[in-house]
Amino acid sequence: MATAIVVFGSTTGSTETLASSVEAGLKEGSVNVTVKNVTQTGVEELGSYDCIILGSSTWGLGDLQDDFFPFYEKLADVTLHGKKAAVFGPGDEESFPDNFCTAVDTLEERLTECGAVMAASKLKIHTATGAGVDEEAKEEVKAWALTLAKSL
């Protein structure tokens, strides 16, 4: 059975909610999943999994969620050759079209720099600021994760 870790950073709870949908889709696809807040995860743990999935919302002018910065910096020193990876995150496309989910792009670039191979297209989910995650978005994320599971 394939193993995956889902590491998320969440300020308002939207990314954490999406991480739960990722977990549900992976489990439905028979993947053994660990879900962890980025504040409780060390980069050295990533090598223990077949697939690494990172999730972050986008803040300011395209920045990672605050809790993700230390993890992101340490990730530069990790080798992930042969590991599959995927990234996801929420953002407000209507209010911030120029910076929509750029944190997702940032995470994908770093994982690729570390030698990981992207196993799924990056997933950018529109969530209106302050509105939380609707059921349609949760289902979209779950379906994305199930497709990812089938590729592992």
CATH for 86: 3.40.50.360
Q: What is the DSSP letter of 137?
A: H
Residue type, 54: L
Reported as a single tens digit per residue, the pLDDT across 47-72 is 999 999 999 999 888 899 999 999 99
Put simply, whether the predicted model's pTM sits higher than 0.85 gets the answer yes
Distance, CA of 98 to CA of 39 (rounded, Å) = 28
Please state the domain count of the chain: 1
> Per DSSP, what are the bridge partners of residue 21?
none
* β-pairing verdict for 58-59 and 63-64: antiparallel
Q: Which range of residues forms the domain containing residue 127?
A: 3-150
Q: Which of 6-15, 88-97, 129-138 has the lowest mean pLDDT?
A: 129-138
Segment 91-98 mean pLDDT: 78
Confidence of residue 129 (pLDDT cuts 50, 70, 90): low
Q: Which of 4-13, 119-128, 129-138 has the lowest mean pLDDT?
A: 129-138
Give me the pLDDT at residue 37, please: 98
Alpha helices, DSSP H only, in 8-150?
14-28, 68-75, 102-113, 135-150
pLDDT at 22 over 70: yes
